[in-house]
A and B are shown apart, each in its own frame.
Chain A
């Protein structure tokens, strides 16, 4: 009787470990991450593309990444050279434009930071962050 109870207890403990072990193996290379950009400020590639000429694309990645490749027509604006690059962006901006800022991936924070500064410092409205960033743009392009 006692050994049966012990066996059952061990089986239950082993079963309880299975989902945890599975998750640990599946996500072993990933660090938990949560976007700091509110959902209302995110925009999908399809949505941003649907804005056509009304969208002003902003590349928040480092200069080297921008030089390698970028969304056609996008302007570079990163915090390494913010003061130098901002005038070029503002010259292309007009109040009716929707600004779409992107960086490399969903988990990078550069686009969120650039979007925050455009809203808070330059007081520009309609500033969005591209969901999934450059990686997502490349996927949608295929």
Chain B
């Protein structure tokens, strides 16, 4: 019989706790962005609303990598108020699909930590395989091939290749189908260490062609990059 008031008290506590609460409702916790060729960064907006009856305070907003900066518009969100966390991802020389997270910590008792996920699908332009070829010291100085393939939505017709070091000769040949090429690289000698960066310039976009790189070297003694 003594348990009845206890149970009643517990139910009352739960009901009261549910009515006086703070809750940050996120419109979405995952965003997928598709930057285009030439974009330097990708920006995602994570929108939220405080659907509770008490204010919510942001304690911290942390990103998973130095390449992403996240900012909150305000430190405190009043009941009913809307806002957003802006996440800016610096593309740099990254390739492929990148997933970065933003960890948001608030003073909510029920759900203090929310992980927001920013997925950036970077445009695939050229695939270069391999992006590095080398010759061991005194290996026969035979040409080696680098295959280049343009993505479907990257309409390059021709490629030009330049070497940063005259120690390497390069020749571009068309591949088996349109949008494919073979770069033949040959060192003039393999008796001493040397290296070069190959700059691959497609004819697209016409106004400011995007540059790609491959590297070649003769390994052995300490090398010099030119």
Q: Residues of A at under 8 Å CB distance from B?
A: 3, 6-7, 28-29, 31, 61-62, 64-65, 78-84, 86-88, 90-95, 108-110, 117, 121-124
Contacts and interface: CB of A to CB of B under 8 A. Distances in A.
Which of B1, B129, B195 gathers most chain A CB within 10 Å?
A: B195
5 contacts: A31-B103, A87-B225, A90-B215, A91-B223, A122-B215
Interface stretch (B64-72, B152-160, B167-175, B183-191): B64-72
B2 interface: yes
Contacts of A121: 128-132
B211 to A, nearest CB: 8
Given A3-B3, A80-B90, A95-B219, A90 B132 contact: yes
B225 A88 contact: yes
Contacts of B225: 87-88, 91
B130 A79 contact: no
A123 B95 CA distance: 16
Nearest to A61: B66
Contacts of B136: 95
A26 to B, nearest CB: 14
A80 B130 contact: no
B64 A109 contact: yes
Interface string B115-143: 10000000000001111101010000000
B85 to A, nearest CB: 16
A91 B224 contact: yes
B76 to A, nearest CB: 20
Which 8 pairs between the two chains have the least Cβ-Cβ distance?
A82-B93, A122-B132, A80-B92, A62-B66, A121-B131, A91-B223, A123-B130, A94-B219
Contacts of A62: 66-67
A90 B195 contact: yes
B215 A87 contact: yes
A9 B29 CA distance: 38
Contacts of B95: 117
B3 A6 contact: yes
Given A121-B131, A123-B132, 11 more contacts: A62-B66, A80-B67, A83-B213, A84-B93, A86-B132, A87-B195, A90-B195, A91-B225, A95-B219, A123-B130, A123-B131
A50 B43 CA distance: 44
A3 B1 contact: yes
A78 B67 CA distance: 10
Contacts of A93: 219
Given A80-B93, A110-B65, A90 B112 contact: no
B62 to A, nearest CB: 9
Contacts of B130: 121-123
B220 A3 contact: no
Nearest to B132: A122
B33 interface: no
B50 interface: no
Interface string B76-96: 000000000000001011110
